[in-house]
Structures are given as structure tokens and as C-alpha cells.
Amino acid sequence: MQPIFIAGPCVIESMELLDIVAQRLVEINKALGTDIIFKASFDKANRTSITSFRGPGMEKGLQMLGDIKEKYGLRLLTDIHESFQAAPVAEVVDVLQIPAFLCRQTDLLVAAAQTGKTVNIKKAQFLSGADMKYPVQKVKDTNNDAEVWLTERGNCFGYNNLVVDFRNIPDMKEITPRVIMDCTHSVQRPGGGNGSTAGDRKFVPAMALAAKAFGANGYFFEVHPDPDKGLSDGPNMLYLDDLKQLIECIIHNA
């Protein structure tokens, strides 16, 4: 199974940012023969603080994502947080993503599955890889043909920290053939930034290569031209200029 790559800013900050990232993804696709899926969230509904930037909202956000798809021909992925969002979001994007904290929300999973779109379920920080058979079953029990992906993003390790147990990857591959490593969220320090999430982006390349060694066949990177000025998850996001080299390393590293 060929690896897939998902990349984009954590949240939709502006149309200008989306254009900058999309243009770079198109360049990388042409250079490397990849088919990177463009990711950005229209609403970050689970920010640490109520004062944190959330995004433009569903209506405006979907319009902006639709413009990116039309201009650049990129496939799209975005999160949904509530059941009513599934159908309108599916009219625009190719992959519906279920956030980790919500991966056991039955109505949300069923609504996503009923769209017929691919559903990417992020493993909760409090679950094992083997536990993800239950969210997957909820999607499959809708009797739709929706493809289901699972994404590893680390587990809680005390307060304000995550650790990745890479054994979760082969465990989840026993449930569904497509298992993705979220290489940027897995280096978070949740709530560890005095009202925001901190993180260590220097570990992102190692996370990707370790995941490959354990059998991952998808890689998720949040990227930004200037992550330290990003409005969400800045400390974890990869510099956009570093993405091509990392993807090349993943592709060619035996």
C-alpha cells in the first residue's frame, strides 16, 4: 500500500495562508509524484482557552476550502465536531476527520459514515490501539462503503505531556489497513503553555521515521510558513519549507 501524506495549517487563519501552503503542496506533488491531501480546520472547538483563536467557522471555512480545491485540485481533509456538520462538510471535502477526544461519539461517527466519504478517526489520548476496533465498528455498522482510516497521535503521559507507544500502529493495522501517524500533534505538551498547548517540533522527523519502522502507511503534518506566528498549535507545526525534504526522507528511507 502506497503511503499517503496529509499536510496543512492547523486552523484556517486567512485565505492568503491557505494559498501559500496549497501552492507549496502542489509543487511537492509535482516534484515527488505524491498526492498530498490538504488539511485545515474551519473551527478548533477544543482549544485550551476560551480566548484562543478558533477559525472562521463552518460556512466561511468551507467556502475557503472549496476555493482551494477548485484552484489547486488538491484533495481536502477537515475535522468535524458535531453530527450536523457531517453532511455539509462532506459536500466540499474528501476525508472527514474525527478528533481524538471525540472518537467514541457514536452519533458523530455514524453521521460521518453516512456521507459515504472516507472517515479518518484519530485515536484518543486515553485509548490503546486495540481499543479502536469499537469506533471503526460503529462506522462499518452503518452499512455504508465508507473507507476508514485510523491515526495515532500519542497517549497522555502524566500532566501536560504525551508519549507515543508505536506498538499501537501494528495493533491498529489489524483493524483497518490504513494507519496514519500524526507526527505533529504527537509532540504536543497539552495545556503546557500557560493557557495554550506547547510542543517540541524538533521531534517531528523522528516520529515519522519511527512510525514507518512500525508499519505506518500514512503521515500527517501540520505545516506553516512561520509556525511561531501560527494562531493554533504553533510549537508543534513543521516549517513549510522543511516538508519536502522530510517526505523525501520517508519515501526513500528503507
Average pLDDT, the chain: 92
Looking at residues 107-133, what average pLDDT do you find? 97
Counting the structural domains of the chain, the total is 1
Element (H, E) at 180: strand 179-182
**Which one, of 119, 127, 104, 113, lies nearest residue 150 by Cα?**
119
Confidence band (pLDDT; 50, 70, 90) for 53?
confident
CA distance 140 to 135: 9
**Which one, of 199, 204, 182, 192, lies nearest residue 233 by Cα?**
199
Where residue 84 sits, what CATH number does that domain have? 3.20.20.70
CA distance 50 to 60: 21
The pLDDT score that the predictor gives to residue 161 is 85
Looking at residues 27-32, what average pLDDT do you find? 98
In this predicted model, what pLDDT tens digit does every residue of 64-107 receive, in sequence order? 999 999 999 999 999 999 999 999 999 999 999 999 999 999 99
CA Rg value for the chain: 17
Confidence band (pLDDT; 50, 70, 90) for 254?
low
Domain, as residue range, for 111? 4-252
**Can you say whether the dihedral through the CA atoms of 23, 251, 186, 169 is positive or negative?**
positive
In this predicted model, what pLDDT tens digit does every residue of 178-236 receive, in sequence order? 999 999 998 877 665 555 566 788 999 999 999 999 999 999 999 999 998 988 877 88
Task: Specify the residue for cell string 519515501.
Answer: 251
Specify whether the CB–CB gap between 138 and 105 falls below 8 A.
Answer: no
pTM for the whole structure:
0.94
CA distance 221 to 219: 7
Task: Specify the residue for cell string 475557503.
Answer: 64
